[in-house]
Amino acid sequence: MSFNSFSEFLSMGGHGLYVWLSYGLGAAILVANLVLPKLACNRLWIEQKRRLRREEEVR
Amino acid sequence: MAEKKWMPRWFYQLASPRWCYQITGRLLPWFSVAALLLLIGGTVWALAFAPADYQQGNSFRIIYLHVPSAILAQSAYMLMAVAGAIGLIWKMKVADMVLKSAAPIGASMAVLALATGAIWGKPTWGSWWVWDARLTSMLILLFLYLGVMALNSAIENESTAAQASAVLALVGVVNIPIIKYSVEWWNTLHQPATFKLTEKPAMPVEMWLPLLVMVIGFYCFFAVSLMQRLRNEIIWRERRAGWVRELLNKQ
């Protein structure tokens, strides 16, 4: 551990704003990179299943 | 006489969207677990256990996001260019899909590298941004990614879009050595490379080991995100194929 207390950890020796801003942004970008394709996947499957059902009704 | 095959068998299997869909389905859980463990472990190590820099103090901890995202932004670009070349030469559809899927991830990594660099620059150099060779060439990399994404969304015809974006990706490769050597060719504020294949890192092991963990974690994460996007793309483009119909009916 390079910090003695939790508040010391949060303040990052006065650079807390910069460090936590970076890590917050990093987390947001990584999560977005997983959630966006997942949402696209759900949408795609729903649409394609609907299309298949429609085509079968026509037949 | 059978046609001579110049490449190993897996190369030809890669050309089959169905095979790619199946193999990525099997690989995804492993890469997801690896990415999760490496990124969480690496972040805790980087934030709480790695020693502070003797000059920069704790703002140095930004390196554990900055370097992996910058490395990945360039690797993803190289992957995109290689996929573009394969798509142009062998007319391989899966390569086109890889190119299209890698672009948004690479762009987000370039954004992360630039943003963490700016945030790190403020306490270290006293400025959010300088028009320095490394920073400028990295910004050009982001624009190349955005160009590839724009071409893909603007051109309706899939194979025309793939050709156009492959050519752009290949032309843009010239920027990669410029990014790499910018810190050596020009006078720059940016420090030289942290990792070199030929030399030992200039930092102590307690500092670079968590960085290595983060880099590997970012690569695994990239694999996960790329496979997710690639699978969507495969289902979309193969939606008329029999095997996709079967899949859709099953679930």
Q: Are A42 and B89 in contact (CB under 8 A)?
A: no
- Report how far residue B216's alpha carbon sits from residue B103's, in angstroms, rounded to the nearest whole number: 20
pLDDT at B199: 73
Question: pLDDT value at position B7?
Answer: 74
Tokens of B93: 């559809």
Instruction: Say how far residue B126 (Cα) sits from the centre of its chain.
Output: 29
ipTM, two decimals: 0.91
pLDDT at position B196: 72
B50: distance to nearest CA of chain A, Å? 7
Q: How far apart are CA B213 and CA A43, in angstroms?
A: 34
Q: What percent of chain B has pLDDT over 70?
A: 97
Average pLDDT of the segment spanning B144-168? 94
Query: CB–CB of B228 and A18 under 8 A?
Result: no
Residue B244 falls within a domain, yes or no?
A: no
Chain segment B29-39, per-residue pLDDT in tens: 999 999 999 99
CB contact under 8 A, A18 and B105: no
Residue ranges making up the domain that contains B27: 22-239
| CA-based nearest distance B2→chain A, Å | 39
Residue B12: inside a domain, yes or no?
Answer: no
Average the pLDDT over B235-246 and give the result: 91
Cβ-count burial of B1 within 10 angstroms (0-12 exposed, 13-18 middle, 19+ buried)? exposed
Among chain A residues, the shortest Cα distance to B54 is held by A13
Mean pLDDT, chain B, rounded, equals 90
Determine which of A11, A23, A34 to mutate to test the interface with B (most B C-beta atoms within 10 Å). A23
CA nearest to B116, candidates B63, B73, B43, B76: B63
Question: Which amino acid is it at B100?
Answer: K
Across the interface, whether the CB atoms of A15 and B48 are under 8 A apart is answered: no
Say whether A25 and B244 touch across the interface (CB within 8 A): no
User: Token match 């490379």: residue?
Assistant: B193
Rounded to whole angstroms, the Cα distance separating B34 from B28 reads 10
pLDDT at B95 (0 to 100): 94
Locus of tokens 């390079």: A2
B160 in a domain, yes or no? Answer: yes
Two tokens, residue B53: 């820099």
Answer yes or no: is pLDDT of B1 > 50.
Answer: no
Please check whether residue B154 touches A, CB under 8 A: no
Is the Cβ pair A13, B52 closer than 8 Å? yes
CA distance A29 to chain B (A): 7
Q: pLDDT band at residue B127, thresholds of 50, 70 and 90? A: confident
Structure tokens at B20: 């790619």
Contact B58 A32 (CB under 8 A): no
Q: Is the pLDDT of residue B2 over 60?
A: no
Give per-residue pLDDT as tens, A22-55: 999 999 999 999 999 999 999 999 999 999 989 8
Whether B231 is covered by a domain: the verdict is: yes
Cα–Cα dist B249/B238, whole Å? 15
Q: Mutate which of A18, A46, A52, A56 to test chain B, going by most B C-beta atoms within 10 A?
A: A18
Whether B99 and B78 have beta carbons less than 8 Å apart is answered as no
Question: Domains in chain B: how many in total?
Answer: 1
